[in-house]
Each structure stands twice: as C-alpha cells, then as structure tokens.
Amino acid sequence: MKTAARIYGRARLRPSRFFSLHRSNSESSSKGVQGSGNRRDHRHSAQSCDFAMHPVAMHATERMTGGSDGASPSRLLLRSAMLFAMLLTCTGCMWARGNKAAKLPDNYTVRAEQLRVHSDKKLSANHELMLELKKLRRQVSEEIEIPLQDREVVVYLFTDEAEYQEYLQSAYPGLPNRRAYFIGTSSELAVYTFWGDRIQEDMRHEFTHGLLHAAMKDVPLWLDEALAEYFEVQGPVPGGVNRDSVQSLLTALENDWSPNLGRLETLTQVHQMQQLDYQESWAWIHMLMHESTVSKAILLEYLHDLQRGKNPGSFEAHLASRMPDYRLRLIAHLAKSLNQPMMTMNSR
C-alpha cells in the first residue's frame, strides 16, 4: 500500500506549498504526511515514474472491469498483463530510489527547550541560531497567546546543499528543489535544511510552522503561511513590514485588484495560490496584529478556538460581524505602512 504525502515548500515564485506524492512500499504507512518547505529557488524536477503510475493503474482498472472498446477476452488479458508489468517496473523504480542509502545528519545533537537539532557540524546550545529560535518560540507564544508546547520540533541541519538535496531526492524522489522543508506527521514535526547564507530566515519560517502544528491540530492554509511569514521577519520585535509585499499590493489595487479574504479561505492546496495570495495573506495578519486592539482580539479568539480543537468556521464571517469595514481598513493599513520603517524582503 502506498501512502499519500502532502509537502509544501517555499520558492521564489511561490508555486506551491503542497506537493503531492506517493512513497514507495518500503516507506508506506497509514499516516498522512503534511509539510512545508522553502518557496525560494523554485525549479521543478522531473516527476519520478511513480507519479506516472497512477493514471496507468486507473486505465488498467477500467480495462480489467470491461472496457467499451469491444476487445476480446484474450486481448483484455494481454493488455492487463502488459499493464501489470508496467506497474511492477515503475514500483521497482520507486522502491530502488526510496531505499537508496541516504544519511541524515546525526554526528551531533543539541537540544534547546522545544527544539532538537541534528547536524554533522558541532553546534553549541549557545549558538546565535539556537538562541534566536528559543527567543522566537517565546515570541510566537506571547504574540498569538498560545501556550508553550512540549512536543519537539526536530531539525535535520545538513552541512551543505549537496548533501541536503541528495537526501531529499533519495527519501522523497521528485520533490522540487527547495532550500528548506517542514514535514509534519503524527510521529514527528521535522524541518530539513542546510547551512546557507539565509539559514536564519529559513529556520524562523519553518520553525514557526513547527510551533503552530505542535499547538494546533489544523491550521488553515492561508493562516499557516501568513503567520510563518509574519514571524520570519527578523527584528527586535515581531511584525516587521515587508516593503515588497506592501508595494505589490498597492500596485495591484491601482489595477482593479481588491482584497478578498473569503477567497483565500477557499484555497486548500498551495498550487492554487499565486504570489499575490501570499502577500495578501501576510497583509491580513499584519493589519490584524497592528491596526487596533479590537482587530488583534478577533484574530486571537480565532486562533484560540483552533488551539482548543474547535472548528471556528469562516474567519471572514467572524471579522465582518465585528469589523464591517475590514477591507477598507486593510487598504488604509497598507497605505499607512509606506510611511513606517520597513524591512525589504526578497520576493519569493
């Protein structure tokens, strides 16, 4: 039995957070996998043969249950045999790739509260990165008022990009090239990344995903990404302004675009999201956190319901009932942001 996996990643053009794949028999389990990865450096690799297998399998099922082409039983049997051979070949390909020896970094392990880092390069608990993530954990808890959790977020920190990519391609064949991935299952909340010049930015984003999923059973797509991007921005306090996103949204407004939170809520797969959707998601969170005590309270109440395992329903409905002019407030907040000190972030 193959198990489906949903993996989402961060790339320069924001193509997709969720990347569906089916793992080999050796990797199968009854648990779904959900993950987040670095949306930068988007270069889709060729799909493995496993992805091509499923249309063939469906086609074979249709033929074996009696196609409408009038083929004789002998021809149907021959077709079935040929398709079965194709399936065996394809499954064997995935099995071989999925079982290729791939080494996770594990020479050193360092723990800091909810964080556990495995690496092949010695890392002190007092390293700047470790201290920053410890601080981020408390900032996330304090800013959105969710209790600190005990469940660990495990980071596999590779020495370089080559080792990182080799592991991902052997463990998850066909994944797009990303600088970092968060993959959460019921047994582990894991971040995969490597030492690079943007390690702090990447780790802040992915660690935020881990903290959210440790505290909440489910996080809506737009809200999950918006919060990760909100806390990704480095600074003395959370909530730095992304100048590129603000300018992009204001330009879109001049070209007849209008914010639509309800539409964002309908997006459940990241391949549905465009760059402007990520920017709008971030903008809603930034406005709600900073516009007024009322706007922040509306957001926090919704997050508290999610944390308690409730289904709070549509966030837009909650917002509209308490703040009917919420769209105008978002636009005003964006315009006002241009007059504030800002941090220019690289576009994704």
Measured CA distances, 289 to 22, 134, 293, 344 (Å):
39, 22, 8, 19
As a whole number of angstroms, the distance between CA 266 and CA 282 comes to 16
- Please check the confidence at residue 65 and state whether its pLDDT lies above 70: no
275-290 and 221-232 are packed helices; what angle lies between their axes, rounded to 10 degrees? 70
The more confident residue out of 233 and 138 is 138
Residue 206 DSSP one-character state: H
Amino acid 234: pLDDT: 83
pLDDT in tens, 87-123: 333 333 333 333 445 789 999 999 999 999 999 999 9
Q: How many CB atoms lie within 10 A of CB 120?
A: 17
Q: pLDDT > 70: what percent of the chain? A: 68
Of 39-48, 81-90, 180-189, minimum mean pLDDT range = 39-48
Q: How confident is the model at residue 191 (pLDDT cuts 50, 70, 90)?
A: very high
Q: How many CB atoms lie within 10 A of CB 47?
A: 11
Amino acid 126: pLDDT: 94
As a whole number of angstroms, the distance between CA 140 and CA 211 comes to 8
Q: Where are the domains of the chain?
A: 4-37, 49-98, 108-210, 243-337
pLDDT in tens, 6-26: 455 654 333 333 333 333 333
Amino acid 270: pLDDT: 65
Mean pLDDT of the chain, nearest integer: 76
- Which residue, among 11, 16, 7, 8, has the nearest Cα to 40 in the 3D structure? 11
Amino acid 43: pLDDT: 30
- Strands (E) in 65-179, as ranges, are 108-112, 115-119, 153-158
Of 266-270, 294-298, 319-323, minimum mean pLDDT range = 266-270
73-98 and 49-64 are packed helices; what angle lies between their axes, rounded to 10 degrees? 160
Residue 196 DSSP one-character state: -
- Please check the confidence at residue 345 and state whether its pLDDT lies above 90: no
Amino acid 91: pLDDT: 33
- Three-state SS for 295? helix
Q: pLDDT > 90: what percent of the chain? A: 55
Amino acid 174: pLDDT: 77
Beta bridge partners of 108: 119
Amino acid 97: pLDDT: 36
Amino acid 21: pLDDT: 32
Q: Residue 107: CB partners within 8 Å, gap ≥ 6?
A: 119, 120, 121, 122
Q: How confident is the model at residue 53 (pLDDT cuts 50, 70, 90)?
A: very low
Each as own residue / partner, the long-range contacts of residues 315-321 (CB below 8 Å, 24 or more positions apart, any chain) are 315/220, 315/223, 315/261, 315/265, 316/261, 316/262, 316/265, 319/261
pLDDT in tens, 210-256: 999 999 989 999 999 999 989 998 888 888 998 889 999 999 999 99
The tokens describing 300, both together, are 């926090």
Q: Hey, what CATH topology would domain 108-210 get? A: Glutaredoxin (3.40.30)
As a whole number of angstroms, the distance between CA 248 and CA 240 comes to 16
Cα-flanking dihedrals φ and ψ of residue 191, to 5°?
-115, 130
Amino acid 75: pLDDT: 52
73-98 and 161-171 are packed helices; what angle lies between their axes, rounded to 10 degrees? 150
Q: Residue 315: CB partners within 8 Å, gap ≥ 6?
A: 220, 223, 261, 265, 302
The tokens describing 229, both together, are 């991007």
Q: How many CB atoms lie within 10 A of CB 85?
A: 10
Q: Residue 270: CB partners within 8 Å, gap ≥ 6?
A: 8, 15, 16, 17, 18, 221, 225
